[in-house]
Structure 1
């Protein structure tokens, strides 16, 4: 069984492609089942094939444990075809941006992702929660088996250790803080600005916390579910509106932060053009943290609109890397130690079937000789004779296989067996 991590992320693929292969949260379970069927090759999920899918604004990754032939390259091709087929994309557009990480590299990658070392924002904590959600959905869909279950349990333990024993989290500059910093380049003070948040998830909540600390003139939350929008708005002394009210009210806002789970843009070029006109070309600052994007990318061409995507903010938060290197080195050292420990566990798992076969075959030998001994006793043979026959029979059966292997072997193979067999049977020359 081979562990694999396959996918694309902010380092290998542009936002325009990442948003096309992102999986909506309510489709993850279905996608996991589809992946298992796909890798089954014969149209059915095979026992032992395991899969989990992590889909965030920075990455779409498939974690798998499978015995597919052909190595990592073959599995990479199969994964590319799966993603292309599932999202109705040309295979050639997707394949160059994908990576495949086998066994130890896959384990190391999972540990680094959960610890925030592979994030656009170094040390950011949200990825750990997103990974746990992905694992819960994979488990509910039947995608977790022995290998992935153990991988993710250890992944979460490593992430906890990294965050509790290093200062990696202390050096994290969040997307939310970066959004505030960028807005201050457009507006001298946020005290006179009206801020709109679209969505009511964890990222929007974080952004609202940062912007509220700047005491803007007003805070409004637009959400598909009015109840959630009102709950979030109430925390920041704001008001809530429905998404359907955006066309009529967008022009009222100076700052717009959006992060929803919509698969299609909810703010189009035409809507923003009308809002800018109604604002008499006062500048509008917009941040789109969603993948797929909530705001059509053509909006960035408007003269009076300053639109930033999740990738744009990622560039901002990379400043000050030199202050984080000590924490990174500590985290990497912890991860490497835990990777080796997990690979050791995998090596032990590889011999489990062999050990089970040895137990089964030896049990069959034991039962056969025991039955023969009972028959001898039933015929009136003395206990001494029966015990002698039982011990000789068991010994002959246990030694038959090794003796045959040694007799039929030649050259280097015979030399290796000559060294190995005494160690296995603890005999002395």
Structure 2
């Protein structure tokens, strides 16, 4: 077994490339596991600024075949060639893959260091793989360890609580162009339209409320606005509502639906704003651009995009160095535990050979020769004899000492099943 990760993120690629790579993302994991027996499990992590696949590959020699299967599967949906897909997805193997996921889950690889949304997205990626039947015990252990690492980083560094989220940074940027009084935004007076009902919409609404925004109207291209708004104590726009007419009376639009195609087009928005001197700030957090980027050219309209967030994200601070050390130690511990699990069957087999053989021999004794006191003594001495090589083998496995493991396993193999006759004492 080998852990293989193929990653693409805002660090390496334009967001439009990431958008295409994520086409029909929910089918990728299922198709990969079905397409090749080299891939025994898959978890897909797709967010607004990353696309990553974590694969359980049955043998190191099969990683090229797994990579080819990924390239073909993603190419068939994205419109890129398999060669382009292979170029866009950076491979990480073994401990590099686990360390990367732990850093991602902890918010250390995000546009905004310490952002909180990603930890939930990592958990949901595992839940989706469970639902689709594409997870394995190794991937379960990996993603659960990633969540523990994320909590450890938050508790020991404060990044999760003090670091600003993507939504928070976007609203900070939006505040620069919202109507102000005495140099400050009166958030309670801001009239807002929220486009979308997904996880980012929920995070956006919470951030808006935290700043004091009361007038929020929810619009959903998919028709889910009513249930979303009712559960959160805000107003929904009815299905079929004229979004443009509503925006014309609005100070702030926060769009994060990820709908196919722009929800707000530049020409249509220009038409409804003709003759209006009311400023409008638009925050587009959707990877697929809910808002036509050209709206930034319209008079009185300011646009904050994911790219804006990336350009204005806060720099790494002192806690980041400690956070990365926490992640590194967590990844090392995970790899040590994984090696013990992977190498332990041979140890267990030798112990079973000896202890099982002893029990079989004791059971085969004639009733007149059975002595429970002597049997307990034999079991105790046998376990003591097995203990040293067992501990040595598992310690060697933890640090990846193959030679030391082989020696300890050889010592276990040399232990014979003890004699149990009447003369054995």
Shorter-chain TM-score category?
0.7 to 0.9
Worse-superposed segment, 297-306 or 132-141: 297-306
Q: Deviations over 1:187-211 (max 9, x none)?
A: 3414465321112334334333444
Do 1:222 and 1:243's aligned partners in 2 also have CA atoms closer than 8 Å?
A: no
Bigger-Rg structure (1/2): 1
TM-score of the two chains, using structure 1 as the length reference:
0.74
Do 1:9 and 1:59's aligned partners in 2 also have CA atoms closer than 8 Å?
A: yes
Select the residue among 233, 247, 251 that pairs with 2:248.
251
Alignment partners' CA distance in 2, 1:248 and 1:11:
38
Runs of 4+ in 1 over 6 A off after TM superposition: 359-371, 417-420
Three-state SS of the structure 1 residue aligned to 2:271 is helix
Between Structure 1 and Structure 2, the one with more helix by share is 1
Cα gap change, 1:216/1:162 in structure 2, threshold over 3 Å: closer, same or farther? closer
- Number of the residue aligned with 1:262: 259
> Pairwise CA RMSD of aligned residues?
3.6
Matched, 1:10 2:6: no
Do 2:10 and 2:111's aligned partners in 1 also have CA atoms closer than 8 Å?
A: yes
In the TM superposition, what are the counterparts of 1:257-336 in structure 2 within 5 Å? 257-277=254-274, 279-280=275-276, 282-319=278-315, 321=316, 324-325=317-318, 327-336=319-328
Cα gap change, 1:174/1:365 in structure 2, threshold over 3 Å: closer, same or farther? closer
Alignment partners' CA distance in 2, 1:252 and 1:168:
38
Do 1:3 and 1:103's aligned partners in 2 also have CA atoms closer than 8 Å?
A: yes
TM-score of the two chains, using structure 2 as the length reference:
0.75
Do 1:50 and 1:143's aligned partners in 2 also have CA atoms closer than 8 Å?
A: yes
- Number of the residue aligned with 1:156: 147
Alignment partners' CA distance in 2, 1:216 and 1:107:
40
Cα gap change, 1:142/1:254 in structure 2, threshold over 3 Å: closer, same or farther? same
Shift of residue 50, structure 1, vs aligned partner: 1.1
Structure 2 gap segments, 5+ residues each:
370-405, 417-425
- Number of the residue aligned with 1:79: 70
Alignment partners' CA distance in 1, 2:113 and 2:409:
50
Shift of residue 37, structure 1, vs aligned partner: 1.7
Shift of residue 109, structure 1, vs aligned partner: 0.9
- Number of the residue aligned with 2:423: none
Shift of residue 65, structure 1, vs aligned partner: 0.9
Cα gap change, 1:292/1:87 in structure 2, threshold over 3 Å: closer, same or farther? same
- Aligned residue pairs: how many? 372
Cα gap change, 1:366/1:296 in structure 2, threshold over 3 Å: closer, same or farther? same
Shift of residue 3, structure 1, vs aligned partner: 0.7
Cα gap change, 1:421/1:62 in structure 2, threshold over 3 Å: closer, same or farther? closer
Q: Deviations over 1:258-289 (max 9, x none)?
A: 01142333222332232332x53644221111
Alignment partners' CA distance in 2, 1:243 and 1:109:
44
Matched, 1:348 2:345: no
